[in-house]
Amino acid sequence: MRGKVLNQGNFELLKSVEGRLLLLINSVIKNEKYFWNVSGDYEYLIQTEGIKEKSGDTTFEVIRTGHFYLIDIIDDPEYPDLPHLYLQDERNNYEDFILPDGLPDLLDTEQEIITTGNIVDQEELDTFVYNYELIEKNR
């Protein structure tokens, strides 16, 4: 597969005592906070900037940290031309998530996130990006 890196950096996934998830994205481009909500089979990220917190959650513990990549995968047979969010796990592999409409922003504050169940290693991610850059260079 081929893909273009849209963003990369570090992330923290936190969980409140009440069970709410908070995803912190720290990159060269920007630092963002998103609530990660699960409602039945539907998961979505909510932009936190400009939102008043009403849940009362004040205590969060870090449950996962690592590197992230946001990559626009060009030729994925299952999910063609959709951005993928890869979050590093404790074994230095990357869990694959799909963001059909990208990350939330101030104009569209809520976006679906789809758990694919796919685990990708660093070498495979590097191959996605290398293949994209090689094709772009030869155009």
Q: What's the pLDDT tens digit per position in 58-102?
A: 788 999 999 999 988 877 788 778 899 999 999 999 999 999 999
End-to-end CA distance of the chain: 17
Range of the domain at 47: 3-137
pLDDT at 138: 61
Query: What's the pTM?
Result: 0.85
Collect all residues with Cβ–Cβ distance below 8 Å to 11 and sequence separation of at least 6: 23, 24, 25, 26, 65, 66, 67, 68, 87, 88
Structure tokens at 131: 């293949």
The total number of structural domains in the chain stands at 1
Query: What does the alpha-carbon distance between residue 111 and residue 100 come to, in Å, rounded to a whole number?
Result: 8
